[in-house]
Amino acid sequence: MNIAFRLAFFFTLLQLTVSGQDLRKEIPAHDPVMIRQDSTYYLFTTGRGISVWSSRDREHWKAEKRVFDTAPKWALDSVKGFNNHIWAPDVSFYNGKYYLYYSVSMFGKNTSCIGLATNTTLHPDDPAYQWIDQGLVIQSVPGHTNWNAIDPNLILGKDGTPYLAFGSFWEGIKMVRLKKDGRQPDEPLDQLQTLARRAKTVSGNPIEAPFIFRKGNYYYLFSSIDYCCKGAESTYKMIVGRSENVLGPYLDAAGLPLKEGGGTLLLQGNGDWHGVGHNAVCTFEGQDYLVFHGYDAQDGGRAKLLLRPLKWEKGWPKSESL
């Protein structure tokens, strides 16, 4: 990652978080995920202690208190050099609580962990508001696991079984079955299957950020390919495949398995956005939305929140243009 770009982005984010001001929708955001409780939308993004924003209209946003003021001790012990800069949160309402999975890692390495925090409410002014860290869920270790435990996404099978999709580079996108409480794996970690990867001709296997969304009879696996976090040099783009089984195989519109390098292109950058990716899919008032970040060509390649209605044609998602 370009150091100057990283510093500029996070100093901007820190200033806005401290001020707590309302902003229009192009707010600084990386790896966003969105959820609504009552009439308030909440956005969670990569940032120091996990950045949190709130909005009543998805247009004006207010910076809220971060999830973690100090880094969880288990994370400091597990990933040397970790400084509470937490990546790629994923939020869901499950088991009567809000589950927030998050990534602890070092850039460019698979010295990585996925943790979990829970809360009974997302409203900061509620007396019951308190994020309780549940600790480590899954960990990858260099030289031992050929996968990377980052970019988590919770998805339920048709029988209600919880699964966690995750992964970045290395062997690609993985899936692990969880115990019913969502806190620990419920299968051996040396037998995890690969859901998606790049073609063998693509060096480094640049694929990450899975998000699985169920619609109708299908599960749709969204993922991001190529390179994020490089400002004007970013080549991030989104692909998708689908399966009738949460465990796959996921096929693209041409019938090519994603685990063999397939993937139907959903959205890519243009002259205004150098690259776009790390998406979530949300449904509000019956309308599906694509939530993601893009690198703004008019603002030095800084990462911004983007939100587009998601349409469906012949069983495949279609995004409005940038």
Cα dihedral: 122, 127, 131, 134 (round 10): -120
DSSP helix/strand/coil, 148: coil
CA distances from 309 to 26, 131, 245, 281 (A): 16, 31, 25, 10
What's the sign of the alpha-carbon dihedral 80, 280, 156, 197?
A: negative
Could you give phi then psi for residue 234, rounded to 5 degrees?
-65, 140
Cβ atoms of 134 and 117 within 8 Å: the answer is yes
Measure the N-to-C terminal CA separation of the chain; round to a whole number of Å. 24
Residue whose C-alpha is closest to residue 101's, from 159, 29, 50, 156: 50
Helix/strand/coil for 19: helix
- What's the gap between Cα 49 and its chain centre? 15
Q: Which residues pair with 103 in a beta bridge?
A: 87, 114
Q: Collapsing DSSP states into helix, strand and coil, what is residue 217?
A: coil
The kind and range of the H/E element at 252 are: none
| Active-site choice (208, 226, 252, 296) | 208
In whole angstroms, what is the distance from residue 48 CA to residue 85 CA? 4
Give the chain's largest Cα–Cα span.
Answer: 54
CA 203 vs. chain centroid, Å, equals: 23
Active-site annotation holds for 186: no
What are phi and psi for residue 240, nearest 5 degrees? Answer: -150, 150
Q: Active-site residue 208, yes or no?
A: yes
Out of 31, 90, 151, 226, the active site residue is 31
Positions annotated as catalytic residues are 31, 208
